[in-house]
Chains A and B, each alone.
Chain A
Amino acid sequence: MSTANPPSAERLEAARDALGRIEQAVNRAVIGQRQVVREVVVALAAAGHVLLEGLPGMGKTLLVRALAQALGGRFARVQFTPDLMPADITGHAVFDMKSEAFHIRRGPIFCNVLLGDEINRAPAKTQAAMLEAMQEQQVTVEGQSLALAPPFVVLATQNPIEQEGTYPLPLAQLDRFLLKSYIDYPGADDELTVVRTVTAGAVGDALDVSAVERVLEPEQVLAVQATAAALTLDDAVLDYALRLVRATRDWQGLDSGAGTRAAVALVRAARGHALLAGQSFVSPDDVKAMAPAVLRHRVRLGAELEIEGYRPDDVLTELLAAVDAPRA
């Protein structure tokens, strides 16, 4: 399988340059999380949503705000709480006494970059309100379908430790996220830089993203996404991606494997990764590099492995080492 109109060298270079600038800009604000920043930029190129998991105070919100600042689009943040209602996100109809008619008041979801903070603190009904927006890029309010302005990216965060009073995301909801990224502790040097930078002349602990310059317009993001979608994809690479996804279904230690949407997501993410590397085609390296982030939230570990303290990444590492890469 190949694309009918592969992107020209100029278009490819422009897209790679745009992604590189976004990555650089976000890395200026979020120090010591290069892998996560790269995955978020890949998701942006692939027009996908990201679930960020990490302990409090690791820079999740800062990352999303820096990305929104770099994109120049509209940014909105929703703090998920147990009493949050779907209408608080999507919007609702209000009666205008003057015109004696109902008007739609759009919720925060009408933006380009949405930060869903601690998404697992809201009940399933509220979480499900985002399904339509994430999958179909539209919202239905009072029976009226309203399209979301592209680009639309959801970056949701959740805390892996505090499970009390949370509602774990159902698999159907998790599947809508293109990637799941772990934000781990930064290295000692990076942490020193963070503390020094943040405390130098700062009052309070407000997030400072003023250092992040606006490098792209929303329209340019759409062009980048179109370029990524046009990269050449050979059948052997597609087959490799599929074999990786199918392997999760027959893998000992996994109760459930990834679905077909995972294969689609893996190819999309690989395209984004290839574009970020400046390639005009997708290689098995791109697929393999993105497989953990794409698959880790789409597989479910067996009880035995969970008790033994395994994480999905441990199993996926073994799986990646067992599936043959294309050779011819």
Chain B
Amino acid sequence: MTISARPRSPWESMDLGFALARTWLGRLWLCWWLAAAPVALLSLPVLHQRPDLWLLLLWWCKPAFEAVTLFWLSRAVFGEQPGLGATARSLPQALPPRLWPQLLWRRIGMGRSFSMPVTLLEAPRGAARRQRLQVLGTGAAGWLTLVCVHLEAILWLSGVLLLAFLVPAGLPAPDLQAAFTETGSAPYWAANLLVVLAMSVVAPFYVAAGFALYLGRRTELEAWDLELAFRRRHAAPRGPRARAIAAAMLLTALLLPGTGAAAAMTPAEAKARIEAILAQPDFGGTREERVWVYVGDDSASSADDDGATALPAWLIQGLATLAKWVLVIATAWALIVLTLHLLREFGGPRRRGRRPTSTGPPGPVAQTSAPAEPLPANVPAAVHELLAARDVRGALGLLYRAQVAQLRARGLELADSATESECLRAARARTEPQALTRLERTVRLWQAVAYGHQPVDTDSVAALTRASDSASADDGHG
């Protein structure tokens, strides 16, 4: 064995694993790619238009890639270091059918680095596997996964930023947003390749640390260190010298004084003598020691004792359930808010708008800028009413708004911010001449009345209204 087997804490075991990975990093990395490269290359023709799915496939197959690394490492630790060719030939052995559950329902698990050695090297099945894992416990494997996920993310982001920063100033700046959002773009592919590279670099450390955790746990539970020491002793060279030593030890034992007296004693005498020896101060006696032991909160115990002030169990249970659901809902809400925020930030073109300040969005400063009222159902009648009331401005305003609304109904995109000339410009492209003439006349009259404060003949407005009305009726019949 190339490592010293002794009880280690989980953190020390992981450190040992990282040291192993550093020692054989090249070999372990190649082992990972031995399994990953065929999957990556064979899936490319199918998924070359969906790099996101390609990356998902590689990520999902990570246990298979790590199995090959583990296969090589488990042999290297015990002194055998198969070459790359030998490892390739051993792939069927390294990827046994019992690996499938790791790629299916056990794929999402935090303790994979620890359970893989159990699954692949010990090969227990079903209940035996569960029992074995229960006995061994996953230890700090969850933390190991968490650390390695972060390492992968850091490596990936560092790689992306490094590439972005190294682009010379004269060349077009790389589109970082495209690297994260625009599936199929060159930056997106580059980012995906960097993810795979980061996975391959971290994998040897992950596998080795998990394997070291496994070894440490077995050393602790099954005294591997002692067993190995005995085996070493057992495997020590035997020969004349060993026999001479054994003979000398036997002779010494036989010649030691007192052995004859011991043989002369009866069992009862021997027992009495042993009890006498054990009763001596060196072997017996009692001693009183006082230590501080935490026994819990006094107030809690006193409250428990005081039945009158204790809350009923159903109330405590209810409050606990309520608190739990409040926590769940708050967490879900926070996740939704965070997701929406991230989508806003990275999910598309940057949107800007009114700043949510205490002053609110820019609003009208006078009554005239208040939002226009909705159009009446019968616009011509409303216009005639306004004309009868000598409100020419109101009548023309209504007529203008109604014509703009008609343009919108015909599919013309007119924002509320469009001014009169912008409406006319948009209408010129997609409106028939008669309607355009009516609109131009309406706008001219409206501007003269509203902005120029010029008198306008009400008859011309009424005629314009009738023309618009008949045109609308024709449209309706058509």
Using CB atoms and an 8 Å cutoff, list the residues of chain A in contact with chain B. Answer: 2, 6, 232, 234-237, 239-240, 242-243, 246-247, 249-253, 279-285, 288, 308, 315, 318, 320-328
CA A249 – CA B357 in complex, angstroms?
A: 10
Closest Cβ neighbor of A263 among chain B residues? B365
Question: Could you tell me the distance in whole angstroms from the C-beta of B346 to the nearest C-beta in chain A?
Answer: 14
**Which of A242, A252, A327 is close to B353, meaning CB atoms less than 8 Å apart?**
A252
Q: Does B397 contact A (CB under 8 A)?
A: yes
Q: Are A246 and B420 in contact, CB atoms less than 8 angstroms apart?
A: no
Set of chain B residues within 8 Å of A239, measured between Cβ atoms: 364-366, 368-369
Q: Are A236 and B368 in contact, CB atoms less than 8 angstroms apart?
A: yes
Question: Could you tell me the distance in whole angstroms from the C-beta of A118 to the nearest C-beta in chain B?
Answer: 27
Question: Could you tell me the distance in whole angstroms from the C-beta of B414 to the nearest C-beta in chain A?
Answer: 10
CA A284 – CA B398 in complex, angstroms?
A: 17
Type the 1/0 row for B358-397, where 1 means its CB is closer than 8 Å to any CB of A: 0111111110110110000000000000000000001001
Q: Does B419 contact A (CB under 8 A)?
A: yes
Given contacts A243-B364, A281-B451, contact A315 B352 (CB under 8 A): yes
Given contacts A250-B357, A251-B355, A322-B354, contact A327 B372 (CB under 8 A): yes
In B317-370, the 8 Å CB interface with A consists of 350, 352-355, 357, 359-366, 368-369
Q: Does B450 contact A (CB under 8 A)?
A: yes
**Which of B355, B365, B450 is close to A246, meaning CB atoms less than 8 Å apart?**
B365
Set of chain B residues within 8 Å of A308, measured between Cβ atoms: 350
Of B363, B417, B418, the most chain A CB neighbours within 10 A belong to: B417
Q: Are A234 and B417 in contact, CB atoms less than 8 angstroms apart?
A: no
Q: Are A252 and B420 in contact, CB atoms less than 8 angstroms apart?
A: no
CA A251 – CA B361 in complex, angstroms?
A: 8
Q: Does B401 contact A (CB under 8 A)?
A: yes
Q: Are B397 and A325 in contact, CB atoms less than 8 angstroms apart?
A: no
Q: List 30 A-B contacts (CB under 8 A).
A: A6-B453, A234-B453, A235-B368, A236-B368, A239-B365, A240-B369, A242-B366, A243-B362, A243-B364, A247-B354, A250-B361, A251-B355, A251-B362, A252-B355, A279-B452, A281-B454, A283-B420, A284-B451, A285-B421, A288-B419, A308-B350, A321-B415, A321-B417, A325-B417, A325-B420, A326-B369, A326-B450, A327-B416, A328-B398, A328-B401
**Which of A2, A279, A327 is close to B401, meaning CB atoms less than 8 Å apart?**
A327
CA A26 – CA B219 in complex, angstroms?
A: 94
Question: Could you tell me the distance in whole angstroms from the C-beta of A76 to the nearest C-beta in chain B?
Answer: 39
Set of chain A residues within 8 Å of B417, measured between Cβ atoms: 320-325
Closest Cβ neighbor of B416 among chain A residues? A324
Closest Cβ neighbor of A246 among chain B residues? B362
CA A25 – CA B415 in complex, angstroms?
A: 38
Question: Could you tell me the distance in whole angstroms from the C-beta of A147 to the nearest C-beta in chain B?
Answer: 35
Q: Are A327 and B366 in contact, CB atoms less than 8 angstroms apart?
A: no
Given contacts A240-B369, A284-B420, contact A250 B451 (CB under 8 A): no
Set of chain A residues within 8 Å of B420, measured between Cβ atoms: 283-285, 325
Q: Does B447 contact A (CB under 8 A)?
A: yes
Set of chain A residues within 8 Å of B54, measured between Cβ atoms: none
Closest Cβ neighbor of B371 among chain A residues? A324
Of B372, B418, B419, B422, the most chain A CB neighbours within 10 A belong to: B419
Of B394, B400, B415, the most chain A CB neighbours within 10 A belong to: B415
Set of chain A residues within 8 Å of B448, measured between Cβ atoms: 281
CA A280 – CA B452 in complex, angstroms?
A: 7
Q: Are B362 and A285 in contact, CB atoms less than 8 angstroms apart?
A: no
Set of chain B residues within 8 Å of A283, measured between Cβ atoms: 419-421, 447, 451
**Which of A235, A284, A315, A323 is close to B362, meaning CB atoms less than 8 Å apart?**
A323
Set of chain A residues within 8 Å of B397, measured between Cβ atoms: 327-328
Set of chain B residues within 8 Å of A282, measured between Cβ atoms: 451
Set of chain B residues within 8 Å of A324, measured between Cβ atoms: 369, 371, 416-417
Question: Could you tell me the distance in whole angstroms from the C-beta of A275 to the nearest C-beta in chain B?
Answer: 13
CA A285 – CA B424 in complex, angstroms?
A: 12
CA A239 – CA B362 in complex, angstroms?
A: 12
CA A325 – CA B448 in complex, angstroms?
A: 17
Q: Are B365 and A242 in contact, CB atoms less than 8 angstroms apart?
A: yes
Q: Are A235 and B452 in contact, CB atoms less than 8 angstroms apart?
A: no
Set of chain A residues within 8 Å of B359, measured between Cβ atoms: 249-250
Question: Could you tell me the distance in whole angstroms from the C-beta of B404 to the nearest C-beta in chain A?
Answer: 8
Q: Are B352 and A252 in contact, CB atoms less than 8 angstroms apart?
A: yes
Q: Are A325 and B416 in contact, CB atoms less than 8 angstroms apart?
A: yes
CA A243 – CA B366 in complex, angstroms?
A: 9
Set of chain A residues within 8 Å of B353, measured between Cβ atoms: 252, 322
CA A283 – CA B424 in complex, angstroms?
A: 14
Set of chain A residues within 8 Å of B352, measured between Cβ atoms: 251-253, 315, 318
With A236-B369, A285-B422 given, name 19 new contacts (CB 8 A): A232-B452, A232-B453, A235-B366, A242-B365, A246-B362, A247-B354, A250-B354, A250-B357, A251-B352, A252-B354, A281-B451, A281-B452, A283-B447, A283-B451, A284-B419, A285-B421, A318-B352, A322-B353, A326-B368
Set of chain B residues within 8 Å of A328, measured between Cβ atoms: 372, 394, 397-398, 400-401, 450
Closest Cβ neighbor of A325 among chain B residues? B419
CA A325 – CA B368 in complex, angstroms?
A: 11
Question: Could you tell me the distance in whole angstroms from the C-beta of B19 to the nearest C-beta in chain A?
Answer: 44
CA A285 – CA B450 in complex, angstroms?
A: 13
Q: Are A232 and B451 in contact, CB atoms less than 8 angstroms apart?
A: yes
Closest Cβ neighbor of B356 among chain A residues? A252
CA A190 – CA B352 in complex, angstroms?
A: 36
Of A232, A243, A324, the most chain B CB neighbours within 10 A belong to: A324
Given contacts A235-B366, A235-B368, A318-B352, contact A281 B447 (CB under 8 A): yes
Closest Cβ neighbor of B418 among chain A residues? A325
Given contacts A236-B369, A326-B368, A327-B401, contact A250 B355 (CB under 8 A): yes
CA A319 – CA B282 in complex, angstroms?
A: 95
Set of chain A residues within 8 Å of B453, measured between Cβ atoms: 2, 6, 232, 234, 281
CA A321 – CA B364 in complex, angstroms?
A: 16
Closest 6 CB pairs of A and B: A247-B362, A328-B397, A281-B452, A252-B355, A324-B416, A284-B419
CA A79 – CA B397 in complex, angstroms?
A: 52
CA A16 – CA B364 in complex, angstroms?
A: 33
Closest Cβ neighbor of A314 among chain B residues? B352
In B394-443, the 8 Å CB interface with A consists of 394, 397-398, 400-401, 404, 415-422
Set of chain A residues within 8 Å of B361, measured between Cβ atoms: 250
CA A240 – CA B404 in complex, angstroms?
A: 19
Set of chain B residues within 8 Å of A320, measured between Cβ atoms: 417
Question: Could you tell me the distance in whole angstroms from the C-beta of B279 to the nearest C-beta in chain A?
Answer: 86
Of B366, B447, B450, B454, the most chain A CB neighbours within 10 A belong to: B450
CA A246 – CA B398 in complex, angstroms?
A: 27
CA A253 – CA B357 in complex, angstroms?
A: 12
In B458-475, the 8 Å CB interface with A consists of none
Question: Could you tell me the distance in whole angstroms from the C-beta of B413 to the nearest C-beta in chain A?
Answer: 11
Of B353, B420, B452, the most chain A CB neighbours within 10 A belong to: B452
Question: Could you tell me the distance in whole angstroms from the C-beta of B448 to the nearest C-beta in chain A?
Answer: 8
Set of chain A residues within 8 Å of B401, measured between Cβ atoms: 327-328
Set of chain A residues within 8 Å of B355, measured between Cβ atoms: 250-253
CA A126 – CA B453 in complex, angstroms?
A: 46
Question: Could you tell me the distance in whole angstroms from the C-beta of A310 to the nearest C-beta in chain B?
Answer: 9
